[in-house]
Amino acid sequence: MGEYRFTHSVNVSKEAKNLAKIYGADEEKAELAGMLHDITKELPRQEQLKIITDSGIILDDVQENAPKLWHGISGSLYVKDNLNICDEDILNAIRYHTTGRAGMSLLEKIIFVADFTSQERTYKGVSTMRKKSRKSLDEAMLYGFKFTFTDLSKRELAIHPDELACYNEIVMSNLSLKGNNK
């Protein structure tokens, strides 16, 4: 793992611990999942693919066409098989940190958001994202999805159905909270 990726992992770990404190999640699990979330990101793509196919997982069409989605899957398999981490919540937090999914646990949401708000991040909107992350994980995720959908569609890249399912779940939960059936 290169220096940038290592610094990023440390920062996500710290940020995840902070968020765990705010939202009442397990701080140790958050630190560990944050530290490990990108563990296979710098492995060559073919090695990542081998980890995935060796495990019996069959990639769907979108995943096949988007190697950037492989490191969440290969990372969760790697820490299970090589670091003997069996906690399903930590494994899922690593697996789904890029796309999100419907029905995410608190820990999964924390890792997803911490990856957007870690200290070294400098994209336009990061300060809004950080502010939102302190008020509501769902609102921060929604803000992230707006950015992702606009960016990916502008670049004509595939969007994984798990990302949409996660976005729709938050949107519809907000609608039902507002009692607003648009």
Binding site for its own copies (CB under 8 A): 61-62, 65-67, 142, 145-146, 149-150, 153-154, 156-159, 161, 164-165, 167-168, 171-172, 174-175, 181-182
**Nearest by Cα to 105 from 28, 10, 29:** 29
Nearer to its own copies, 82 or 173 (CB): 173
Q: Are 46 and 9 in contact (CB under 8 A)?
A: no
Tokens of 45: 């793509």
Cβ 72 to its own copies shortest distance, Å: 17
Q: Residues 83, 107, 146, CA angle at the centre, nearest 5°?
A: 120
- Residue 83 or 175 with smaller CB distance to its own copies: 175
Residue type at 30 in one-letter notation: A
> Rounded to the nearest whole angstrom, what is the least distance from the CB of residue 128 to its own copies in the complex?
14
Pick between residue 61 and residue 81 the one whose CB is nearest to its own copies.
61
Nearer to its own copies, 17 or 96 (CB): 96
* Shortest reach from residue 143's CB to its own copies, in Å: 10
Using DSSP, state whether 11 is helix, strand or coil: helix
Residue matched to tokens 């949409």: 164
Q: Which is nearer to its own copies, 49 or 126 (CB)?
A: 49
Distances in whole angstroms, Cα of residue 20 to Cα of each of 8, 12, 48, 149: 18, 12, 29, 27
